[in-house]
Structure 1
Amino acid sequence: MAPFIISTDRLILRKMDKDDAGKLLEIFSDPVAMAYYPSTKSEKETNGWIEWTLNNYENHGVGLWIAEDKETGEFLGQCGIVPQVVDEESRMEIGYLFARRVWGNGYATEAATACKKYGFEHLNLSEMISLVDVNNHPSAKVAERIGMTIKKKIFKWGKEILVYSVSK
């Protein structure tokens, strides 16, 4: 098993690598899972996503991590901390995206809670955000469950986005 960044009761969050492209395509090729993204992603775009993530690890010490079932090692999705620009300022976002087959099991909330704790305790961040499409109610519920509140609405990625925030 690859070394992990975070361990919870049910999950391991580990660094993403190039071998994860096939796993990520389960999510990225699913139009329902990707409904709030600009579009689904091809294999080439997925490899670009992995490169972006590896660059985040290198340049920021954080990024999206692969979420796996702690007992079985089964791929569930991704969750982590990524830099995002909001109002021309770089902020750290808790991002999460899980395979549709595991929706409704609380994995996103469990992983996001662990990322929040990691950001505050290990990275000494004073605040973290989540950027949520105004129509993505399940994602908004995850942000709310981990103690985030809406700070503002912005226009990003060609649409209205809610900026959720939580402070240490």
Structure 2
Amino acid sequence: MAVIETERLYLRRMHAGDLEALMEIFSDPVAMQYYPRTRSRVEVKDWIHWTENNYRDYGVGLWIVESKDTGTILGQCGIIPQAIHEPVQEWEVGYLFIRRHWGHGYATEAARACRDYAFTHLAADHAISIINPLNQPSIKVAERNGMTRREVTRWRDHSVAIYQITREAWQQRTDSI
């Protein structure tokens, strides 16, 4: 059952049966080049469990992104509670797709839907994306999502760029459509 539906995509809850599709992302050194490392099957199982806990604890998390036309799993995108500067919790729009599905606008379409969900269902006053400062493709998705660079900071022992869109900026975008 879809949590979010867009023109071309369904975003649904992740479950243990998604392990193989997620391994296509997490074991791919190119897809993971801006992350500390690739992940093992055990780590991806832990990722699924962490995501299921986010659903239980926050009502949101990373969702599996599927093609409406084919049912093919394209990647993951969703909303994750993050604390960049403790103890303040912020809603992150995160996304990571299977490499063979890059370049079709799926990440932007899914990220926009998640951004809108954060404002309409979570009463967020802003949404962020946490991105490696060298990851130009993800930065472009964030910018197409209406986000601008808020800061570059250290987080979890890594340099990250925080991109943000405020409720006011989001509302201006939606009012102009």
CA distance in 1, matches of 2:123, 2:154: 28
Give per-residue Cα distances to partners, 1:30-69, cap 9 Å, x unaligned: 0000011111111000000001100100001100000000
CA distance in 2, matches of 1:93, 1:121: 15
RMSD over aligned CA atoms reads: 0.7
1:86 aligned residue: 84
Q: Greater share of strand residues, 1 or 2?
A: 1
Map 1:42-57; keep pairs closer than 5 Å: 42-57=40-55
**What is the letter of the counterpart of residue 32 of structure 1?**
V
CA drift of 1:112 comes to: 0.2
**What is the letter of the counterpart of residue 127 of structure 2?**
M
The answer to whether residue 16 in structure 2 is matched with residue 18 in structure 1 is yes
The answer to whether residue 59 in structure 2 is matched with residue 61 in structure 1 is yes
**Structure 1 stretches lacking a partner, 5+ long:** none
Identity of aligned residues (%): 52
**TM-score normalised by structure 2 residue count:** 0.92
**TM-score normalised by structure 1 residue count:** 0.97
**What is the letter of the counterpart of residue 91 of structure 1?**
E
Give per-residue Cα distances to partners, 1:91-138, cap 9 Å, x unaligned: 110000000001110000000000011111122111110000010000
1:133 aligned residue: 132
1:157 aligned residue: 156
CA drift of 1:157 comes to: 3.0
Count of residues in correspondence between the two structures: 166
Q: Which runs of 4+ in 1 moved over 2 A?
A: none
The answer to whether residue 4 in structure 2 is matched with residue 6 in structure 1 is yes
CA distance in 2, matches of 1:126, 1:63: 18
CA distance in 1, matches of 2:84, 2:46: 22
Q: Give 3-state SS (helix, strand or coil) of 2:89's partner.
A: strand
